[in-house]
Amino acid sequence: MNDDFPLGLLFGLLLLLICLSAFFSSSETGMMSINRYRLSHRAGGGEGRAQRVMRLLGRPDRLIGVILIGNNFVNNLAASIATIIAIHFFGDVTGPAVATTLLTIVILIFAEVTPKTYAAVKPDRIAYPASLVLEPLLKVLYPLVWLVNAISNGLLRLLGVKNIEGDGDNLTRDELRTVVHEAGPLIPRRHQAMLVSILDLENVTVNDIMVPRHEVSGIDLDDDLDDILAQIRTSQHTRVPVFKGDINNIIGMLHLRNAARFLSRGEVTKAAIVQEAREPYFIPESTPLHTQLLNFQKQKRRIGIVVDEYGDVEGLVTLEDILEEIVGEFTTDVASQDQDIHPQEDGSHVIDGTANIRDINKSLGWQLPTDGPKTLNGLILEYLESFPDGPVCLAIGPVRMEILEVRDNLITAARCWQSVRRTVAATT
């Protein structure tokens, strides 16, 4: 070791090995930290480097195997060369201890912490170029990698891990909702709300958004023909149900555009109205919205009659109602357009008892429970467990309510406001 050339060569080789150690360390972190969904999108778009990384991540045991084989080889070789250099300067006794201490510090800083931290922050900048080296290196070292994987996979099977192929991370609905929320400025807030609403369609049934039967405006064939014609001419709806005597006896759905056919004739009969009506489309009340949306598309329908388990009509639901659950109301100010909610000067709201709880929550930003009764009247009666004899005040969560009017065993109006204190009580 008296010749400076071999010593300089050893120093150069040691520096190269430290760089290789940093490469393998950063490659491991970069390959495992890369965004799998962005990677899959790029690979699907035909990007070659993304496809190469996907192939390596398809078998993570082989990828980790070739990285660790290379990393351990260069680290052990670097330790041997560092020991030779240290013995040259510090002697046989002190040299190994000095080499171990200094090399540990150097590798820890320059070949472990720094490159791995950078790879964790910028995985794309490491994973893509590293795959150019790792893929051919895996082919060269495949016999050794196969042997190491065979032993390690056998140990993993003893621990209950049977599938070691990287088939991607499948997201649950709640996890996907979190991903949407954490997208930040990459997805506009309005679009985030729409995506989350689509995910929530499965948790909402047609019974939650339907127009209840007492609010359904239809054509009763038992009425006088003049009254029916006046109703058709002044109707604000595009499609109306046609029934006889009772809404449970629905004959069909009349599109008012088709009404022009018999209105243009000199004589209009009820038979002509029935002839233009389309066969009704019935929907079970427990049908989830995402299923009904597909059913509307499949059946080429825009409106359906909601029935309960006994076949009685509960109300009707339209395609527009479901779309509003996704994109929001089609009005600019929901609270001002909702005829069931009447803002007051003191900040409270006088709400009709027949108002839908979900509509109240959306209009006012409240969190009234929706897993029970669908209307404000039903919610209040559920909490009181009896019909009030007179004015009653109660609190449901942070929302305080004062019953203003009761008629025919129906709470027709209540004054509601949201308070800071959360209490559940009822007083008369």
Which residue, of 327, 362, 382, is where some domain finishes?
327
Do 34 and 13 sit in the same domain of this protein? yes
Do 353 and 377 sit in the same domain of this protein? yes
Q: What would the pLDDT profile of 25-51 be if each residue is shown by its tens digit?
A: 999 999 999 988 888 888 888 888 999
Please tell me the distance from the alpha carbon of residue 194 to that of residue 318, in angstroms, as a whole number: 19
Do 295 and 314 sit in the same domain of this protein? yes
Q: Work out how many domains the chain is built from and give that number.
A: 3
Please tell me the distance from the alpha carbon of residue 49 to that of residue 149, in angstroms, as a whole number: 25
Q: What would the pLDDT profile of 15-24 be if each residue is shown by its tens digit?
A: 999 999 999 9
β-pair partners for 205: 288
Structure tokens at 283: 């929907």
Residue 261 lies in a domain: yes
Do 348 and 309 sit in the same domain of this protein? no
Which residue, of 306, 327, 348, is where some domain finishes?
327
Do 11 and 152 sit in the same domain of this protein? yes
Do 306 and 348 sit in the same domain of this protein? no
Do 212 and 152 sit in the same domain of this protein? no
Give the three-state DSSP class for 316.
strand
Length of the chain: 428
Do 126 and 29 sit in the same domain of this protein? yes
Do 318 and 343 sit in the same domain of this protein? no
Do 152 and 16 sit in the same domain of this protein? yes
Structure tokens at 269: 């009969």
Q: Is 314 exposed, middle or buried (0-12, 13-18, 19+ CB in 10 A)?
A: buried
Residue 186 lies in a domain: no
Q: What would the pLDDT profile of 150-166 be if each residue is shown by its tens digit?
A: 888 888 888 877 766 65
β-pair partners for 352: 413
Q: What would the pLDDT profile of 95-119 be if each residue is shown by its tens digit?
A: 889 989 999 999 999 999 999 999 9
Q: Are 66 and 145 in contact (CB under 8 A)?
A: yes
Maximal C-alpha separation, the chain = 121
Residue 187 lies in a domain: no
Which residue, of 327, 349, 366, is where some domain finishes?
327
Residue 95 lies in a domain: yes
Give the three-state DSSP class for 205.
strand
Give the structural domain span for 418: 334-427
Residue 35 lies in a domain: yes
Entry pTM: 0.59
- Tell me, what CATH number does 222's domain have? 3.10.580.10
What does the pLDDT read at residue 271?
87
β-pair partners for 316: 211, 305
Residue 300 lies in a domain: yes
Do 27 and 89 sit in the same domain of this protein? yes
Structure tokens at 315: 């109300």
Structure tokens at 167: 């088939």
What does the pLDDT read at residue 427?
44
